[in-house]
Chain A
Amino acid sequence: MKKEMIKIENLKKSFGDLEVLKEVNLDVHESDVVVLIGASGSGKSTLLRCINFLEIKNGGKIVIEGEEVDPKSHNLNEVRQKVGMVFQHFNLFPHKTVLENVMEAPVMVKNQDKKEAEKEARVLLEKVGLSDKADVYPAKLSGGQKQRVAIARALAMKPDIMLFDEPTSALDPELVGEVLATMKELAQEGMTMVVVTHEMGFAKEVADEVVYMHDGQIWERGTPQELFNNPQEERTKDFLSSIL
């Protein structure tokens, strides 16, 4: 049995009167890739953001690597170091070069030696194919390159889990492939990943499990095979036919 990296029980989240997550249950095991799909507003982003506590839940339980995290008593900054996040709009630091973007957190948060952090940052940039862009500012990069830097930046903290919130939705179609390739490579290396995406090709090829969200709930989940070829719920069928 693989280690349980994320366990969510009865998770609830509201914004004012709007109940965005209603009793969500989810478990993610080590090295698994879980793809979240669902219509706009179904709560996918909110669920991801609850997992690294950018949003604070209103109820339920979040267990990260076997430890229940209580936002009141836990140091969330430490929890977030274990859970990397990649955003739709990259959110690179525009006043720092690519290399500085990647080095920032290891040096400032982990007090890593600068030389060592730079060496590791360069290895990561090599890995995402951007060694030649180390000294460039983000504004000079294409969207695909920005997103790969963002992935390298998150990996620099050596997280155990990576969350991706529509990492290719803001990209020109011809740039989507390079980012998905980087993510696929990461998955093959055994990274535990939760990915919100509309790229069904990626889901079919890489995901261990696909989770369909509707109206703040997990409506149906299964292997890509099961969910795409043989969905059980009417809603899932409707959603799938609407996006294909």
Chain B
Amino acid sequence: MFDIAHILDVLIESYPLFMKGLWITLKLTVVSILIGTGIGLIFALFKISGIKILNWIANIYIALIRGTPLIVQIFIFYFGLAELGISAFWSAAFGLAMHNGAYIAEIFRGSIQSVDRGQMEAGRSLGMTYGLTMRRIILPQAFKRALPPLGNQFIIGLKDSSLASFIALSELFSIATTQGSRTFDEMTYLIIVGLYYLVLVLLFTLLVNMLEKKLSAGE
């Protein structure tokens, strides 16, 4: 059923096209995870602040994002931001960032709360402010613990970025579908694009493992 020689031929032949898509996918993923990490950190701090109104804002945000399909969110961002003259790339990036942000907020909240209470008390007893203790003592430890689930979220984010094909962004997946329907050879292109994602995920997993080892060195 699978003609491996044929798949290899198409793989080599379509390589330049997929590289363009790959570049967009990577940009989209990295940008949306970076912004998402910022958003996640802010909402995580809201959640643990003990300030009711901030708590509420964070809870509503997380409930909205988790309670609706990502594709709906991407379209809302796309149509909403298009009116402001924002490109498809950036509306997809913001949509994915907001989406990742909700999950990353929960990751950070968990990892911050897993740091022993005594750490905050030790910082405060030395005259450090809440903010300073958070920044210098709690967050570095929390971030280290958040790294495995963050890596996992990055992988989810990478695969989720394929939904941006619905708003006409020529990332990896949309290259596969357009090429597939142009050549009536959908299956071959789907297998190829699957391979691209697989390799990306494996490379990224390796990178996270290395980073984790490096960070835990010494302690």
Residues of A whose CB lies within 8 Å of any CB of B are 52, 54, 77-78, 80-81, 83-85, 87, 89, 91-95, 104-105, 108-109, 137, 139, 150, 153-154, 157
Contacts and interface: CB of A to CB of B under 8 A. Distances in A.
23 contacts: A54-B124, A80-B125, A80-B126, A83-B125, A84-B125, A84-B126, A87-B118, A87-B121, A87-B125, A91-B122, A92-B122, A94-B141, A95-B140, A95-B141, A104-B137, A108-B136, A109-B126, A109-B127, A109-B132, A139-B219, A153-B126, A154-B125, A157-B126
Interface residues of B, number: 19
Interface string B139-150: 011001000000
A91 B125 CA distance: 11
A14 to B, nearest CB: 19
Contact of A54 (B116, B125, B127, B140): B125
Contacts of A153: 126
Contacts of B122: 85, 87, 91-93, 150
B132 A91 contact: no
A83 B141 CA distance: 26
Interface of B: 116, 118-119, 121-122, 124-129, 132, 136-137, 140-141, 144, 218-219
Contacts of B219: 94-95, 137, 139
Contacts of B128: 77, 104-105, 108-109
A105 B129 CA distance: 10
B118 A77 contact: no
A165 B210 CA distance: 40
| B interface: dominant SS | helix
Nearest to A54: B121
A239 B137 CA distance: 40
Given A108-B136, A137-B219, A139-B219, A93 B125 contact: no
List the 4 shortest-distance A-B pairs measured between CB atoms, nearest first: A81-B127, A91-B122, A91-B118, A105-B126
Contacts of B118: 87, 89, 91
Contacts of B141: 94-95
Contacts of B116: 89, 91
A77 B140 CA distance: 22
B93 to A, nearest CB: 32
A153 B118 CA distance: 15
A85 B122 CA distance: 8
Nearest to A93: B137
Contact of A85 (B125, B132, B137): B125
B141 to A, nearest CB: 6
Contact of A77 (B121, B127, B218): B127
Contacts of B125: 52, 54, 80, 83-85, 87, 154
B87 to A, nearest CB: 40
A78 B124 CA distance: 10
Given A91-B119, A108-B136, A137 B218 contact: yes
B59 to A, nearest CB: 24
A89 B141 CA distance: 17
A78 B129 CA distance: 10
B215 to A, nearest CB: 9
A67 to B, nearest CB: 16
A92 B140 CA distance: 14
B111 to A, nearest CB: 13
A89 B122 CA distance: 10
Contacts of A154: 125-126
A154 B122 CA distance: 9
Contacts of B218: 137
Nearest to A85: B125
Contacts of A54: 121, 124-125
A105 B118 CA distance: 16
A93 B119 contact: yes
Nearest to A156: B126
A178 B196 CA distance: 61
Contacts of A104: 126, 128, 136-137
Nearest to B118: A91
Q: Report which residue of A54, A83, A85, A105 has the largest number of chain B beta carbons within 10 angstroms of its beta carbon.
A: A105
Contacts of B124: 54, 77, 80
